[in-house]
Every structure is written in C-alpha cells, then in structure tokens.
Chain A
Amino acid sequence: MGYPSVDRRRLLAAAALGREAGVPGPAPGDGDPVRAVTGEIRDVSPHLVVVETPDGREERLFITPSATAWNGGDTTPADLPVGARVVIRALHEGKVVDRIWAGITRITGTILSVEGRADLSVELACGPHRGRRTITVPHRAAGRLQVRHPRLEPGYLLDAIGVRRDGGCLALLPATSQPPYPARAVPPAPAAYAGTQQRVSGTVTWSDAFDEGEWGLAYPMMERSDAGCPEAEVSCAGLPYLAMGSLVQVHNQCAGRSANVPIVACGCVAGRFCDRCVECGTSPRGRLAELSPSTFVELGGELVKGCFNAQIGLG
C-alpha cells in the first residue's frame, strides 16, 4: 500500500491525462483580496482585536468604524466577548476587519425528532460522516423559522443559521426555504443529453462541519465507494462525478470572485436540497457544494445570508 493522499490525486490525474494540475486558491485579479481569519478572541477593543488562530498564532487586526459584527444579532465588534469563536472577513492585505461573525453555526440536516412546547429541541441526522446533532429552536425564533420551514416533522429537511451558546446550538434564522419533499425523495436532475457541459450553475452554501480555517468544499456527486459515503450521488443540479481531492473552480456570481477549491468532504446532505439562492437574482435549482466558512468568506459570501449564486467547473 502506498500513501493514498487525495492531494496527490490531482497531480497523478494531470500526469495521466496530460493536463495542467490546478492550483488551489483564489483567482488573481478579483479586486481587493478578502482574507478570512478564524480563531478565538483573546482581546478586543474598539480599534483592535487579537485572535488566536487554530495553529496557535496570534493575529492582531485593526477595527475601523465601518466594521460590523454579528453575535446572534447585529452588534459592534467591541461588544464581542473574549473567548468567542469568530470568523473575520479582513480587507487591505488581511489586516483590517470588515466584518466579524461570532459563534455562528449552520444547522443542516434531516429532522429525526422534535420535542418541547415553548423551546423546541430538534434532533437532526447530518449525514453518515457528520452524525447526529441536537439543537434548540428558542420560542422567540420559532415563528421566524417556521415561516420558511413549515414542516418541522421527522423526515423533512432543516437548514438554519444559529449561534453557539453554553455548549449548545440555538437556531435563529432560516437559511433557506424548506424543500417541500421529504429528504428521501429528492427530485431528479433535469435530463441531460450528450455533450459536455463545462460549467453548472446553482447555489453554493457553507457548513461548519470542516476543520477550523480549512480551505475546501463538500461535494455531493461522488461515487459512493470512492467517498465511503452511502448517501452520496444525490443531487437535482445535474452535477458531474468528481472525487475527493478534485479541484473545483467556484465562481461567486454575486461578488464576482472565483477560486479553485479542493473537494475535502462528501456533501451528501447538500445534495438533498433542491433549493435556489436569491442573493443576486434567482439561481437555478440545486446545491452545487458546501464551502467551509473560510472559503465562503474569501469568495465574498455573507455567512448570515447563507448562500450565493454560483457557477462551478473543474479547476
């Protein structure tokens, strides 16, 4: 047995087919580069935030008066608590804070059970590799959530933006309109006839089921045996088959940014959503991929909105 590194697959595939091995990272010439910084707040003042990154470094970032923050609701950066896990969008060579999201989490999965009267306790299946998760829908957020998720019933999908509090997760905002079909009955992709389609349009979302600060995406259309994911190969977007380690070029049509992003996980849950993004115009149906929070932010996405209209192709 050798060393089956998925990164190496790109090089081997490129050598076999005589093509260029793509390079992961943002495309040059997309305007002022955006950098995502993730970590834990060590100190914060109205003008400076100190963040400890996952690799143990300290990052000192300037806060301008125009910077905004989110911590379960809009707030000012200086009001964020020390110790909060944050994702920061930094501009100007990655040294100036533009926006901070504190404790943000995304709750995506199939509802297994719903309990409670005032505050609802919802158990979700988040895919074979992500396991189960129990979240709380507080009474004050239940109405807002149920406007777009009318069927809080076992078997249906849930996708919400929430916040981490005291070791638990609170769902606060719907991230999309709930698909009207049960999770097991995903509509088929539109018929496609011979002829290679270079790029596929749809919606791209984010998920926090990645390592902190990881650059990558989860993709639904992978061979089940290759990905070790028995629920893969489901999508209504007409996606081509790719593999773990393949490089995907993601273009954010709303922000005009592009990047080559490697597939690092199976996106079987994303594939069950046949929804649209209306961030800038209305996208075609179907989730193309789930990005890690860092990737989503560096491609110009707003975590609270949850998606952007995108086109993807092989990187």
Chain B
Amino acid sequence: MTLVLASQQPALIVLLVLGTVAKMITVRSGGEPGALSRLGPAVLVPGRMQAPALVVCAAGELVLACGLLLTTHPLFRWGTVTFFTLSTYVLLELRRRRPDAGCGCFGEVSAAPVGLRSVARTVTLSGMALMTVWGETPGWTVFARPSWHTLAGVAVLVALSPELEEMVDRLRYRAPCERRRAPAESVTLSRLRSSGTWRAHQAELAAAEPYDSWRELCWRFFAFDGQGDRDVVFAVYLSGRRPVVRAAVVDRQDSGSMPEYTPVSA
C-alpha cells in the first residue's frame, strides 16, 4: 500500500521541474513586451509584476520538486497539495475572468485558453499529491523502482495535457522560415565556417571576420573583404543544422554602378 501511495511522486516531480524550466524559458525569451500578458496566472497581476510572478511560481515549483525528491518531510508534501489545489482555483478563476488567456502551466506552450482538461489535470495532480502525503519513501527511491501505478498516472496526465497536441501541431505546421526567429548570428557564422563552400572560398578572403551581416527572408548574408579589391559574400540558409551555403565574389568597381532612383520627370 505504501508503494501505491508513493507511486505518483515521479510524475509530480517531473511535472514540477518541467513547469519550472518552461516558465523560466518563457520569462527569458518573453522579453517581448506584452508576450507575458497573455499567459496564465500572470494576467491576474499588473503588467510590471507579471515576470516576477512567473519567476516566483517557478521557484516554488522547484523547491517542492527537490523536497519531494530528497525528503519525506510533510512540509513539502502538504506544500505540493496546497500548490496544486491553489492552481485549480487559479485556473477556474482564470477561466472565468480571462477566457482568452492560456493557463501558462508550461509557459508559452500552454497558450491555448484554459479548458476543462487543464482543470481536470490540476484536480488529478492535487489527488496524486494528496496520496503521496502518506507515502513513506522519498521520491528518488520510487524513481529507482517505477511501478505500473506510476505509468498509469503518467498515462492519465498525458491524456489530460492539451500541450502535447499543441507541440505536435507546432512540429507539423511550423511557420515559414522567413517568419521564424533565426539562430543567433554567431551560430550561423559557425555553421558557415564548417561548410564546404567556406573552405572552397577561404583562400580568397582578406579578413577573418565579416564586415557586414544581415538577414533577408530565410537567408543570412555575410560579406567579407576579399583579395584584390573584391567582396566575398556568403548566403547561409537559416533552416537545418547543415544548411545550404552559397557564395559569390563581387568586384567593388562593379558595385559602384548600383542603379539609383531618379524621379520620373527627370
């Protein structure tokens, strides 16, 4: 019976850690003003408090996860029960006051409006947390010896998680490359330097660093000073780990004759 009561600890710990990581990623990448205002309980606090609210929530989840994993102290067990019970209340409140907002449970992935499945999930988690109060072993021992009860709990949670469908949709229907954020310029530059096109043109370069770099649609361009008053330009496709790389060598004299706009009446 003790094993059954403690069997749901791994699921709780993993979910709490995932929640922490996802919230922190959202806060870090959600530097965009307004992005957080559509997410979870953060919408219930004033704008300037939204990021701190998510951070506090994430920190609380991490503390609870560590407590469940390493100790059998009732503080963490009852804390987890309280956390998920409060979450249920917050989700119900969110559903009532801001039907357009996502639950934010796993950060930006949980952007879909709060539905009954999300509420049912927190109710289930509250129940699981309540079971673990009487479990007599710390979480790590259950991790070492998972049981069918653990897998059954995970299966229920998977069925109640709308985020999985959202992630599958995102993988299946990605925005076109020209509308997606691209990897950092330094990452693209290192991909360029590991390409065969780079090696083929490396001898023509007069400088190791590009003098200009810009992104247009799904390409990032790097312009280098070349030997003999020429420019060497590389175009790196912004999708894939081994992207397509194109290169051209352009005379600077030729470039001086860029067509210029002249008024139609001239």
Contact = CB atoms under 8 A, between A and B. Distances in A.
A192 to B, nearest CB: 5
Interface residues of A, number: 59
Contact of A193 (B173, B213, B246, B255): B173
Tell me what chain A mostly uses at the interface: helix, strand, loop, or mixed. Answer: loop
A20 to B, nearest CB: 11
Interface stretch (A99-107, A164-172, A183-191, A275-283): A183-191
A241 B248 contact: no
Contacts of A186: 34
B250 A15 contact: yes
Interface in B224-263: 225, 231, 233-235, 246-248, 250, 254-255, 258-263
Tell me what chain B mostly uses at the interface: helix, strand, loop, or mixed. Answer: mixed
A194 B173 contact: yes
Contacts of B38: 188
A24 interface: yes
A16 B265 contact: no
B258 A10 contact: yes
Contact of A13 (B221, B254, B259): B221
Given A11-B250, A24-B261, A195 B212 contact: no
Interface string A222-262: 11011000000110001111111110000000000000000
A243 B216 contact: yes
A94 B215 contact: no
Interface string A55-96: 000000000000000000000000000000000001001110
B136 interface: no
A241 B215 contact: yes
B233 A4 contact: no
B134 to A, nearest CB: 45
B173 to A, nearest CB: 4
Interface stretch (B9-17, B113-121, B153-161, B177-185): B177-185
13 contacts: A2-B223, A4-B212, A13-B233, A15-B248, A17-B246, A24-B260, A34-B264, A93-B265, A184-B37, A193-B175, A194-B176, A241-B179, A242-B216
Interface of A: 1-4, 7-13, 15-18, 21, 23-26, 33-35, 90, 93-95, 181-186, 188-189, 191-197, 215, 222-223, 225-226, 233-234, 238-246, 314
Given A8-B258, A191-B175, A241-B217, 18 more contacts: A1-B211, A2-B212, A2-B231, A9-B221, A16-B219, A16-B246, A17-B246, A90-B265, A185-B34, A185-B37, A186-B34, A192-B176, A193-B175, A193-B176, A194-B173, A195-B176, A240-B178, A241-B182
